[in-house]
C-alpha cells in the first residue's frame, strides 16, 4: 500500500501559491486525480511490514472534499478506504 501525504496541513488553510489558494485551488484539484492524507504537525504514519498506522490529527482529501479521520492523541490503522479500519 502506498499513501500520498500532504504535510503541515495547518499551514495550507490560508496559504497562496502564485495567487492560487493552496488548499482549495491546488490541493482539492489534485485530490480528484489521487487522494491523500493531510497531516497536522506532530502527526505521522508508521509503516510496518503489513500495515500502516496513522498517529495524531489527520484529514483525508479526495475528489475535492476533506474529511477529518483522526484526532490528536488517537491512532488508526489505515486501509485503502479513506483511512478507515
CB atoms within 10 A of CB 66: 16
* CA-based nearest residue to 57, from 35, 26, 83: 83
Question: What is the reported pTM?
Answer: 0.82
* Residues in Cβ contact with 12 at an 8 Å cutoff, skipping those fewer than 6 apart: 6, 22, 23, 27, 38
Average pLDDT over residues 6-26: 93
- In this predicted structure, the answer to whether residue 41 has a pLDDT above a threshold of 50 is yes
* CA-based nearest residue to 35, from 62, 59, 7: 62
The pLDDT tens digits of the residues spanning 51-79 come to 889 999 999 999 999 999 999 999 999 86
Average pLDDT over residues 2-6: 83
Average pLDDT over residues 5-22: 93
Amino acid at each position: 500500500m502506498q499513501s500520498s501525504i500532504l504535510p503541515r496541513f495547518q499551514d495550507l488553510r490560508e496559504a497562496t501559491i502564485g495567487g492560487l489558494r493552496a488548499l482549495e485551488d491546488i490541493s482539492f484539484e489534485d485530490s480528484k486525480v489521487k487522494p491523500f492524507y493531510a497531516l497536522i504537525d506532530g502527526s505521522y504514519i508508521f509503516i510496518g511490514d503489513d500495515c500502516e498506522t496513522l498517529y495524531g490529527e489527520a484529514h483525508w482529501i479526495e475528489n475535492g472534499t476533506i474529511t477529518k479521520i483522526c484526532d490528536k492523541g488517537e491512532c488508526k490503522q489505515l486501509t485503502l478506504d479513506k483511512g478507515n479500519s
